[in-house]
């Protein structure tokens, strides 16, 4: 008689991939251990995962001094290499920041468990019970830049969704990430889960990234988080399925009929509230019928916010004699994700021309329309093909936190699997359970 036990069988690779590769590559050997851990944590109930998450939060607080010391190695190295203070600031961990990271982990523990959710379920005409349920993806690889808080965030979200995570941070944060992952692994193990549920990709070289991108069959998905060039490399070179994230060339379009005060507010908030993030606006498009009334106010407000305008001929004409710094826009400006106090700006002859411009230049992240016309709002939302279309709202709302997801692993700008802010459900797949009483066809 079969006696089910509490321990799952050892995880093995799909489709008969041999362990030969793993024997010769430390990266693949690590991925193989992630795969084994993934099989062990996939069926765990919420309580087991939450216990581990709370252990992580406690350990981060208890071992803050260790984290700060390891972080100092990275920041010292960065300073010696002449890295800019902005980048060093993003790299720096303080006691306060570690406490905030620990608090985020507790927030993740408080979120509902996506695994096991019945997405679809019914009884078929022949009496079979069909259920589609959420299951973990398996092994999630994250390739990310500078900020070491991503190490903990990503590990927490993957653990909560029953996935093993394989982390490949920036070499500039290697010491911080090594210390953080050691603490996370200790905590996970103390909670009775396999430490290998959280692993760092070994090695600081580019080769280790390349091997990770070729670990098809061992890694289920790669999520690059960072600048456009990192994401482009991963998308082009990976044979592991990729979820593209984050590049944001977002547009604000002010329609022929618009509340001018609202339009200025939304423009300035979208551009200047936090220019360094992907959901900030990079291009302003204005309908010609409202350009004379709107542009002088908009350009003044942009000047007050410290924004430089890269305008087309009509925008430059409107800027003349005003206080805003205005330069001629090139194709590079229309394509740019500035992430700075710069904005491209142009006048369009119609809403459809605005849509055509957006479809040509957008990265597909977020586009906003400001309008009082119901017909224009409807047409713009229908025709714009981006993760998010905002009507009379700032582009800055495209965010897992703002959307009420409670957490975010990134913002997908692709169409497959997940589009827009990704929360815990986006870190799952599904499987069908077919239950019969001896049913055959």
Interaction residues for a second copy, span 358-377 (CB under 8 A): 359-364, 371, 373, 375-377
Instruction: Tell me the per-residue interface mask from 77 to 116 with a second copy, x by CB under 8 A, - otherwise.
Output: ----------------------------------------
Reduced to 3 states (helix: H, G, I; strand: E, B; else coil), residue 127 is coil
Residues 6+ apart with CB under 8 A from 113: 45, 46, 49, 160, 161, 162, 424
Question: Quick one: which of 48, 73, 106, 132 contacts a second copy (CB under 8 A)?
Answer: 132
Give the footprint of a second copy on residues 322-351 (CB under 8 A).
331, 334-335, 350-351
Question: Quick one: which of 26, 121, 306, 436 contacts a second copy (CB under 8 A)?
Answer: 436
Question: Quick one: which of 166, 311, 398, 409 contacts a second copy (CB under 8 A)?
Answer: 398
Instruction: Tell me the per-residue interface mask from 305 to 324 with a second copy, x by CB under 8 A, - otherwise.
Output: --------------------
Give yes or no for residue 276 binding a second copy (CB under 8 A): no
Give yes or no for residue 124 binding a second copy (CB under 8 A): yes
Check: CB of residue 156 under 8 Å from CB of residue 408: no
At its nearest, how many Å lie between a second copy and the CB of residue 169?
Answer: 23
How far is the C-alpha of 263 from the C-alpha of 254, rounded, in Å?
7
Give yes or no for residue 297 binding a second copy (CB under 8 A): no
Give yes or no for residue 300 binding a second copy (CB under 8 A): no
Give yes or no for residue 213 binding a second copy (CB under 8 A): no
Give the footprint of a second copy on residues 49-78 (CB under 8 A).
none
Alpha helices in 174-281 (DSSP H): 174-190, 206-213, 228-237, 260-272
Stretch that binds a second copy, among 72-80, 297-305, 316-324, 388-396 (CB under 8 A): 388-396
Rg over CA atoms, the chain: 25
What the block records as the tokens of 140 is: 């999630």
How far is the C-alpha of 252 from the C-alpha of 421, rounded, in Å?
19
- The residue with tokens 């092994």 is 139
How far is the C-alpha of 198 from the C-alpha of 159, rounded, in Å?
8
Give the footprint of a second copy on residues 410-429 (CB under 8 A).
414-417, 419-420, 429
Alpha helices in 25-94 (DSSP H): 26-41, 46-62, 64-80, 85-91
């Amino acid at each position: 008689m079969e006696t089910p036990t509490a321990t799952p069988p050892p995880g093995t690779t799909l489709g008969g991939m041999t362990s030969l590769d793993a024997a010769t590559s430390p990266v693949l050997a690590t991925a193989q251990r992630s795969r084994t851990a993934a099989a062990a944590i996939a069926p765990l109930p919420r309580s087991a995962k939450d216990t581990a998450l709370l252990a992580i939060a406690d350990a981060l607080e208890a071992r803050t001094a260790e984290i700060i010391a390891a972080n100092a190695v990275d920041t010292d190295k960065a300073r010696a290499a002449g890295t800019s203070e902005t980048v060093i600031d993003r790299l720096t961990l303080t006691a306060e920041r570690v406490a905030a990271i620990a608090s985020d982990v507790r927030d993740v523990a408080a979120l509902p468990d996506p695994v096991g959710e019945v997405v679809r379920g019914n009884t078929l005409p022949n009496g079979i019970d069909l259920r589609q349920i959420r299951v973990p993806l398996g092994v999630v690889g994250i390739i990310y830049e500078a900020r070491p808080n991503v190490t903990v965030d990503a590990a927490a979200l993957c653990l909560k969704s029953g996935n093993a995570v394989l982390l490949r941070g920036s070499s500039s944060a290697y010491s911080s990430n090594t210390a953080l992952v050691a603490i996370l692994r200790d905590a996970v193990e103390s909670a009775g889960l396999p430490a290998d549920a959280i692993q760092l990709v070994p090695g600081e070289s580019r080769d280790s990234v390349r091997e990770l991108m070729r670990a098809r069959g061992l890694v289920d998905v790669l999520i690059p988080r960072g600048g456009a060039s990192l994401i482009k490399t991963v998308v082009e070179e990976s044979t592991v399925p990729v979820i593209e994230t984050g590049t944001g060339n977002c547009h604000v379009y002010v329609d022929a009929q618009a509340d001018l005060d609202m339009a200025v507010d939304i423009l300035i908030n979208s551009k200047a509230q936090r220019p360094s993030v992907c959901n900030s606006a990079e291009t302003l498009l204005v309908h010609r019928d409202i350009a004379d009334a709107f542009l002088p106010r908009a350009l003044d407000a942009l000047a007050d916010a410290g924004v430089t305008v890269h305008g087309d001929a009509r925008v430059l004409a409107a800027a003349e004699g005003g206080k805003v710094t205005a330069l001629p826009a090139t194709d590079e400006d229309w394509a740019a994700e500035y992430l700075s106090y710069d904005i491209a700006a142009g006048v369009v002859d119609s809403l459809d021309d605005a849509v055509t411009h957006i479809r040509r230049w957008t990265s597909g992240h977020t586009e906003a329309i400001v309008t009082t016309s119901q017909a224009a709002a409807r047409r713009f939302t229908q025709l714009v093909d981006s993760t998010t279309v905002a009507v009379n709202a700032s582009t800055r709302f495209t965010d897992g936190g703002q959307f009420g997801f409670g957490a975010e692993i990134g913002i997908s700008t692709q169409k497959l699997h997940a589009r827009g802010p990704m929360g815990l459900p986006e870190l799952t797949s599904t499987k069908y359970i077919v239950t019969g009483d001896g049913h055959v066809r």
